[in-house]
Structure 1
Amino acid sequence: MSTPGEITVTGLGVTTAVGRGKADFARALYDGSHRFAVMERPGRQHDTRFVGAEIPGQVTPGRLTARELRTSSFTARVALTTLEEAWEEARLDEVDGERVGLVVGGSNLGQRELVLAHERHRDRPAFLRPGYGLSFLDSDLCGQCTAAFGIRGLAHTVGGASASGQLAIIEAAEAVAAGRVDVCVALGALMDLSYWECLGLRTMGAMVPDRCADAPELACRPFDQGHQGFVFGEACAALVIERRGERRGLEDYGTLSGWSVRLDGNRGPDPSEDGESGAIRGALDRAGLEADQIDYVNPHGTASPVGDRTEAAALRACGLTGAAVNATKSVTGHGLSAAGAVEAVATLLQMRRGRLHPTRNLRDPVDGGLRWVGDGGLETEVRHAMSLSAGFGGINTALCVSASGSGSVR
């Protein structure tokens, strides 16, 4: 069996409201760009206004026929486009499809389109298209991706609420480490919210209130004293994971040196400092790293008042006060099921460039003892980084990423 230190990332794909593809995405991160506005996608309008960041224009994957495109959900079109970018960078057409796997992070992904279908066929159910029998199943997205790319090794979904994207990375890494496949793609899928989910999340106090629609550019404030909840952001990301050196000529982005999953034993949305600290310590232990070796942390950072304070306390408790910290969600919004994968991509891109992006709207940090990256960003070498995710239901994950050649993994 491979050790964790042999597991690397050889391809990245990303689609967000602020940028499609790695180059546009990185540019938006460093510029501190945003697309926060009152959401307008059909199925998200209601008597109240919901602030979010929506992907502009049409998303048209290259591997679909016109007929397949007509019957594909928005989530699927974004997933296929994102997967194609990572697939081509890692030259996966050269790999036997029997040795390629796919893990999709996310469940209940297409709620908006299901709501639209219900409303459209409420008075004429006999005209419901046959494809509906597939579209409400989590296996549908796996099926579309495996059909389009010839993946025949393994494919399944993992649901962990807002930790789903990072759980997919961990599951993919473990599949490669165990030798189940040679290459595995982790896909953090776009969760297509309808107004029902937005209403529910706002009612519980997780999503920003209606009044934030008056100044949407100021609504998303991770780790700032003025935070009022998360702002949704459409997003998807894909990471190609394999053993180092299996295919010569590929330049990897870094090593997945350690990871950990810890549960709180809690159904609800409340975060746990113990659970988050446990995940951090577990990932450090698996990577063979001490806290003072972590140069950079990409936190969960949703802008939930209780969530931000709990996470800041966990960082402090684990001795990560020397690491630089920024919040990718301040630029992208919260991608929910995709968030952990999008933030892993952001972490790897920043490590390669040696530059950390700014944190938008961070004026008065909730904890003055951490090394926040403010408006100007930060030029710095990152040898070891950590990315964190947390999901409703008490799911905490942590991922350590090391630059190639750091030689720190035991």
Structure 2
Amino acid sequence: MCSMRNYNQPELLITGIGITSAIGQGKTAFVSALMQGQHAFGVMQRPGRQKGTSFLGAEIPSLVFSDRLSKQLLRTASFCGQVAMNTLNEAWEEAKLDDIDPGRIGLVIGGSNLQQRTLVKTYETYAERTQFIRPAYGIYFMDTDLCGICTEQFGIQGFAYTVGGASASGQMAIIQAAQALQTGQIDICIALGALMDLSYWECQALRALGAMGTDRYANEPANACRPFDKNRDGFIYGESCGAVVIERADSAMRRHVSPYAKISGWAVGMDKNRNPNPSYEGEVQVIKKALEHAQLSAKDIDYINPHGTGSVIGDEIELKAIRDCALSHAYINATKSITGHGLSAAGTVEVIATLLQMKETRLHPSRNLQEPIHPLFNWVQGQSVLHAIENALSLSMGFGGINTSICLKRV
């Protein structure tokens, strides 16, 4: 179990965010859609995502790119790379990073095997004429291409790498960034939960695993995504990407930037399990370790943003872990009920959703939470709720037995 006591450690603040999702591009559009419970679910249309199938999901509409982004980089980047550049740009500008020494800025990208749809389209295009494949394929088939694109665009020279944690990747990126800041490797670190661009191959396999819905709501996309509801039957995919800028409090003070919140604690733990089934013991351990790291008791947590995918087994296990950690009093809603499951991006997107709710002093509703599997929790159901979050807990889990937890504190 990996956690770190924060005695004599610098305070870490989040000073910029960027978000791209199917419900809104940019934090203003995103938080507006969240609070209203607006969704974008339907039969997915992006080329390479269906093959005689009708998988449900939420896809990002046409991107509006910032003028500062290199047109050449955008032209040669995959869809995943384009979204990463644009999302990072929003966080970069809000945190006012243009005047920072580029050697003191780091980048951690959460996700692996990110560009599957792009790769499938390449295979299909050049299957009978491999000698004509674009040389650029030698670069973009690797996830590190996102590091190259982003560091070239923004001049980052500290470090850049990807970290794979399946659906916990986005939150793992935040934790890795925080740990790099604590060791003094850099002064500012950006954590980016990258868009996982699924092809029909991954959709079919996830559907066959029983992880991805839906049988029950195949003809009712608006009703299909329903975390923690008795009628859930698996997750519904949602394209998304999120970026957060993290820095030490002394740096933020010198630069006169206003923080969203303090990262007060975190934990990572493994279940010793290759398979996708969740572990009650693993989830309990990361919750307790994160609270210990943050020097908080269970009663101090007043809001939880759970993993909450709509998994038949996973939702049950997560609620049991929350209950047995004495957290049933805290407000809970399900961000994925509105955005869909962004897989590698999910952990970062949900931290951003928590930060925006903290800023708005309002909690977003949960879509389709009509019959909670355990009604005695403090659910936010069909309507938003006024609430000033003081201490939030964000949970994110991934295939392969990965459990992560982050505590966020109002500043």
Return the alpha-carbon distance in structure 2 between the equivalents of residues 71 and 323 of structure 1.
46
TM-fit CA distance, 1:177: 1.1
Mapping for residues 287-302 of structure 1, pairs under 5 Å: 287-302=294-309
Return the alpha-carbon distance in structure 2 between the equivalents of residues 346 and 66 of structure 1.
30
Which residue pairs with 2:287 in the alignment? 280
- Whether 2:85 is the aligned partner of 1:74: answer no
Q: Cα deviations across residues 244-290 of structure 1 (Å, max 9, x unaligned)?
A: 13133110001000000011000000000100111100100000000
Which residue pairs with 1:227 in the alignment? 232
Return the alpha-carbon distance in structure 2 between the equivalents of residues 64 and 328 of structure 1.
29
- Give the direction of change, closer, same or farther, for the CA distance of 1:52–1:361 in structure 2 (3 Å limit): same
TM-fit CA distance, 1:61: 4.7
**Which aligned segments of 4 or more residues in structure 1 are displaced greater than 4 angstroms?**
1-5
Which residue pairs with 2:265 in the alignment? 258
Identity of aligned residues (%): 55
Q: Match for 1:96 among 101, 112, 132?
A: 101
Q: Match for 1:268 among 259, 270, 275?
A: 275
Q: Cα deviations across residues 311-343 of structure 1 (Å, max 9, x unaligned)?
A: 000000101011000000000000000000000
- Give the direction of change, closer, same or farther, for the CA distance of 1:4–1:26 in structure 2 (3 Å limit): farther
Which residue pairs with 1:121 in the alignment? 126
Q: How high is the TM-score relative to the length of structure 1?
A: 0.97
Mapping for residues 3-402 of structure 1, pairs under 5 Å: 3=8, 6-210=11-215, 212-246=217-251, 247-402=254-409
3-state SS in 2 of match to 1:251: coil
Give ranges in structure 2 of 5+ residues lacking alignment. 1-5
Return the alpha-carbon distance in structure 2 between the equivalents of residues 256 and 5 of structure 1.
10
Return the alpha-carbon distance in structure 2 between the equivalents of residues 240 and 3 of structure 1.
22
Return the alpha-carbon distance in structure 2 between the equivalents of residues 343 and 349 of structure 1.
10
TM-fit CA distance, 1:3: 4.6
Give the AA of the match of 2:354. T
How well do the aligned residues superpose, as a CA RMSD in angstroms?
Answer: 1.2
3-state SS in 1 of match to 2:395: strand
Q: Cα deviations across residues 163-202 of structure 1 (Å, max 9, x unaligned)?
A: 0000000000111111000000000000000000000000
3-state SS in 2 of match to 1:265: coil
- Give the direction of change, closer, same or farther, for the CA distance of 1:298–1:248 in structure 2 (3 Å limit): same
Q: Provide the aligned length of Structure 1 versus Structure 2.
A: 404
Q: Cα deviations across residues 6-41 of structure 1 (Å, max 9, x unaligned)?
A: 000000000000001000000000000000000000
Q: Cα deviations across residues 68-89 of structure 1 (Å, max 9, x unaligned)?
A: 2221100010000000000000
Return the alpha-carbon distance in structure 2 between the equivalents of residues 376 and 70 of structure 1.
42
Q: Cα deviations across residues 130-152 of structure 1 (Å, max 9, x unaligned)?
A: 01001111211001000000000
Which residue pairs with 1:407 in the alignment? none
3-state SS in 2 of match to 1:345: helix
Give the AA of the match of 2:353. A
Which residue pairs with 2:3 in the alignment? none
Deviates more, 1:266-275 or 1:241-250: 241-250
- Give the direction of change, closer, same or farther, for the CA distance of 1:211–1:375 in structure 2 (3 Å limit): closer
Return the alpha-carbon distance in structure 1 between the equivalents of residues 87 and 77 of structure 2.
15
